[in-house]
Structure 1
Amino acid sequence: MKDEIHPDTLDSSEQPRNGLDRVIFKFGNLISLLFVFTVAISFYEVLMRYVFNAPTIWVHETASFLGGCLFVYGGIYALSINKHVRVVLIYDIVSDRTRRWLNVFHHLMGLLFSGLLSWAAYQMVQDSWFTPFGDIRLETSGSAWNPAFPALVKGMIFMTLCIMFVQFSLHLIQELNGLRKRKDV
């Protein structure tokens, strides 16, 4: 039995709002199983190091890479089901209409935030994926194993921020449509 969040168990404000949110939600539930894999390989490393005195060179970097990527994905996952951080002290005491305007403000600030961070992440990706002459050469960790995880994490951050920008755009459009419809009623 999988222990995942099912959309039917969420209240209406925590439902994925559009097709992109539904894909992010379902994919997030699927890749969350990588946490189990991370725990398993970490257990393997402890066993190899302390029982067999044969430490690995790949487990720590792999576990850090997977954990970092899953943490970054968590941002768009939380946004997809409306579980992001907000100041509920204010949000919960205002009227429904004021809440909608606070949501519009939130989405506008989210667009600005994710847009600026996407630009910064693009710069990081460019530096970590390409040489000054434009040849592809992924930045590596510099360890004995030397995987390209630093470049891949930076690529994941960039991709996730771009998706978040699209999410905020879609949520803003939906919120503005909701305000317009309520005005027409």
Structure 2
Amino acid sequence: MKNEIHPETPDSSERPRNALDKVIYTFGNTISLLFLFTVAISFYEVLMRYVFNAPTMWVHETASFLGGMLFIYGGIYALSINKHVRVVLIYDLVSDTTRRWLNVFHHIMGLLFSGLLSWAAYQMVQDSWFTPLGDLRLETSGSAWDPMFPALVKGMVFATLCIMFVQFSLHLIQELNGLRKRKDV
């Protein structure tokens, strides 16, 4: 439900809930400008390829890399402002207390999900950042340009999942505190 006085202002459920969420939200709004950069370099590629017949070797991989990184970041951004996926058909029909318990269940499942995926992502990072002997060697794309974007994307997946685990922990604590306060009243 939107704020009636200022319709453009999100209600309290669409705002960051804690300091970590505020940092994620602010940083996300800042790095969203990279979408404009991606459009600009894609336009540059089209211009170079079709007007000057001089295609680049770096634009496609860079645009894909930036888009992928922003998409990955979108998960923690959506969680920071409570815009993640939920079954609103059920969620909107139940009482506030039931909603809180559904949130507790959601956060517990989110902890399990992000914890297990963090472990899998850690294994991916190990394989893409280190040789079997333990030397640092970032995996590259294998193209003519050969940037280390695959290793960086895997590192971003791991870091984002770890942050998401912390987010779910904080949200669970806040939700349980909210339930306890309602009981005390």
RMSD: 0.7
Question: Which amino acid in structure 2 is aligned with residue 10 of structure 1?
Answer: P
Q: Which aligned pairs between 1:20-35 and structure 2 lie closer than 5 A?
A: 20-35=20-35
Q: 2:81 matched to which residue of 1?
A: 81
Provide the rounded CA distance (Å) in 2 between the counterparts of 1:81 and 1:159. 19
How far apart, in 2, do the equivalents of 1:21 and 1:144 lie?
A: 40
Separation of aligned partners in 1, 2:84 and 2:132: 38
Q: Is 1:150 matched up with 2:150?
A: yes
Tell me by how many angstroms 1:10 deviates.
1.5
Return the letter of the residue paired with 1:80.
S
Gaps of 5+ in 1: 1-7
Which residue matches 2:47? 47
Identity among equivalent positions (%) equals: 88
Residues 13-40 of structure 1 show CA distances to partners (whole Å, capped at 9, x for unaligned) of 1110000000000000000000000000
Residue in 2 that maps onto 1:110: 110
Mapped to 1, the partners of 2:64 and 2:119 lie a distance apart of: 24
Q: Which amino acid aligns with 2:67?
A: G
Q: Give the distance between the partners of 1:167 and 1:75, measured in 2 at CA.
A: 11
CA–CA separation in structure 2 for the residues paired with 1:9 and 1:153: 34
3-state DSSP class of the match of 1:9?
coil
| AA in 2 matched with 1:17 | R
In structure 2, the partner of 1:69 is 69
Which residue number in structure 1 is paired with residue 5 of structure 2? none
TM-score (norm 1): 0.95
Alignment-derived partner of residue 37 in structure 1: 37
2:181 aligned residue = 181
CA shift, 1:9, in A, is: 2.2
CA distance in structure 1 between the partners assigned to 2:91 and 2:9 by the alignment? 23
Q: 1:50-92, CA deviations, whole angstroms, 9 ceiling, x for partnerless residues?
A: 0000000000000000000000000000000000000000000
Instruction: Say which SS state the counterpart of residue 68 (structure 1) adopts.
Output: helix
Moved more, 8-17 or 161-170: 8-17
**Structure 2: gaps of 5 or more residues:** 1-7
> Which residue is equivalent to 1:163?
163
Map of 1:95 onto structure 2: 95
2:17 equivalent in structure 1: 17
Aligned equivalent of 1:5: none
1:124 corresponds in structure 2 to: 124
The 3-state SS of whatever aligns with 2:136 is coil
1:144-172: per-residue Cα shift (whole Å, max 9, x none)? 00000000000000000000000000000
Aligned to 1:60: 60
- Counterpart CA distance in 2 for 1:82 and 1:57 is 39
**CA distance, structure 2, for counterparts of residue 180 and residue 9 of structure 1:** 29
Residue 135 of structure 1 corresponds to: 135
